[in-house]
Amino acid sequence: MGRFTTGAGAWRPLSGPSHQLALEILLDGPLSRAELTRRVDLSAGSLTRLTKPMLESGLLVEVPGGPTDPRVGRPSQPLDIVPTSHHFVGVKVTGDAALGVLTTLRAEVIATEERKLPDHSPDTVADAIVELVHSLSDGRPQVTGLGISVGGHVSSSGEVLHGDFLAWEDVPFQRIVGERVDAQVVVANDVTAVTEAIHWFGAGRGLSRFCLLTIGAGVGYGLVVHDKLVDTIESGLGLVGHIRLDPDGPPCHRGHRGCADVMFTTHAITSQISEAHGRQVGYDECLDLAKNGDPEARRVVGAAGYALGRLIAAASNFTMPEAVMLGGEGVQLATVAQDELQAGLRSDRHPSAVPPPILLQDPSFTQWARGAAVIAIQTFVLGK
């Protein structure tokens, strides 16, 4: 696979205080010049000087509709971002496939595509991602940034220290892909990426504190406090997966009884119900069986919901979020086992504590890839 070129000048970073301006307009635009000078603490002259190249490059546009400016006697023209001025590709890598999306600067998904992975060697996975970028951007404007997310432990320099579903140890994947494409490449943990997508462009907008629990092949946790992602070297270790929630639950491979990993991952639920029924039962069918009163499915799904409620209580007690987001492909558990979830939540909360709003997120797999794109968008706007 040859080096993929996204076009001359594709990667042109913002400079200096332009980052803060672009960020304010991206998240809250259109904004008037008066509002911007207040928010970024600039003189009107400095604002004009900084926004001029951003207007000329097509990143910003003046839109009609502002109030009349008393100094000039005509309507002011608020500034907005042109979402299609920059495009980003986000790719989520699983054990089986690389799923990609092409997005605008405001993380609107324009196209999706998938590539099966014939094996897990870093070169094979990198080539599949380059193919995805090539195909997604075919005939479209240049790609500014490429974000890649994986389940597992990723360093701040994009080295995959441990990849959960790829059996990778210490793979400098950001560098490996960066050598193949001209766009800026960033690699991040998948839950971190989705948390940032919710934070900047989703249900977390305007909240100072929220947490995200993802339910699926594993259990993930992301946290935003004071409007900032809490990101440590331990993000991606799957720390909440082994919190013990049910003393009567099955044991996990690390010897915990009833930890999150064996209570409500998709595998935990399907394996218990499949065993009881003597055949392979898929996740959706497990939830349907529970809904329709199948006793064994009801017991397993109910215990899973109760355990999830206890985990939400623990997250709420420790981090006092304004809302708890539930995401991941297994999120329908929260609907089918709603009563058990609420009972588990109540059991570990103070009776006077207000229950946190629980906001269910889109469980489609596209959201993971969109999260990866948001990491690339953040890198561009913040100049990280």
CB 290 within 8 A of CB 298: yes
Helix (H, G, I), strand (E, B), or coil: what is residue 169?
strand
CB 84 within 8 A of CB 141: yes
148: closest CA among 373, 381, 380?
373
CB 266 within 8 A of CB 284: no
- Asked if 254 interacts with Zn ion (CB under 5 A), we say yes
* Binding region for Zn ion (CB under 5 A) out of 90-98, 111-119, 140-148, 239-247: 239-247
Minimum distance from CB of 257 to Zn ion (Å)? 8
Minimum distance from CB of 258 to Zn ion (Å)? 9
Question: What part of residues 261-280 is at the interface with Zn ion (CB under 5 A)?
Answer: 261
Torsion angle, alpha carbons of 67, 14, 198, 39, to 10: -40
Minimum distance from CB of 150 to Zn ion (Å)? 21
* Binding region for Zn ion (CB under 5 A) out of 20-28, 31-39, 252-260, 309-317: 252-260
Strand order in the sheet with 210-215: 228-229, 219-225, 210-215, 323-327, 358-360
- Asked if 154 interacts with Zn ion (CB under 5 A), we say no
* Binding region for Zn ion (CB under 5 A) out of 94-102, 139-147, 258-266, 374-382: 258-266
Which is nearer to Zn ion, 137 or 265 (by Cβ)? Answer: 265
CB 244 within 8 A of CB 254: no
The string of DSSP codes covering 189-241 is EHHHHHHHHHHHHSTTTT-S-EEEEEESSSEEEEEEETTEE---TTTTS-GGG
Minimum distance from CB of 243 to Zn ion (Å)? 8
* Binding region for Zn ion (CB under 5 A) out of 136-144, 194-202, 240-248, 290-298: 240-248
Rounded CA separation 374/338 (Å): 31
- Asked if 259 interacts with Zn ion (CB under 5 A), we say yes
* Binding region for Zn ion (CB under 5 A) out of 47-55, 255-263, 357-365, 375-383: 255-263
- Asked if 252 interacts with Zn ion (CB under 5 A), we say yes
370: closest CA among 136, 158, 161, 81?
136
Give me the amino acid identity at 141: P
Minimum distance from CB of 252 to Zn ion (Å)? 3
Rounded CA separation 221/225 (Å): 13
Q: Which of 180, 256, 310, 349 binds Zn ion (CB under 5 A)?
A: 256
- Asked if 238 interacts with Zn ion (CB under 5 A), we say no
Minimum distance from CB of 168 to Zn ion (Å)? 22
* Binding region for Zn ion (CB under 5 A) out of 73-81, 86-94, 163-171, 236-244: 236-244
Which is nearer to Zn ion, 261 or 294 (by Cβ)? Answer: 261
Minimum distance from CB of 256 to Zn ion (Å)? 3
Q: How many positions of this chain bind Zn ion (CB under 5 A)?
A: 6
Dihedral sign of CA atoms 167, 231, 190, 328 in order: positive
Longest alpha-carbon distance in the chain: 79
- Asked if 242 interacts with Zn ion (CB under 5 A), we say yes
Minimum distance from CB of 262 to Zn ion (Å)? 6
Binding-site ranges for Zn ion (CB under 5 A): 242, 252, 254, 256, 259, 261
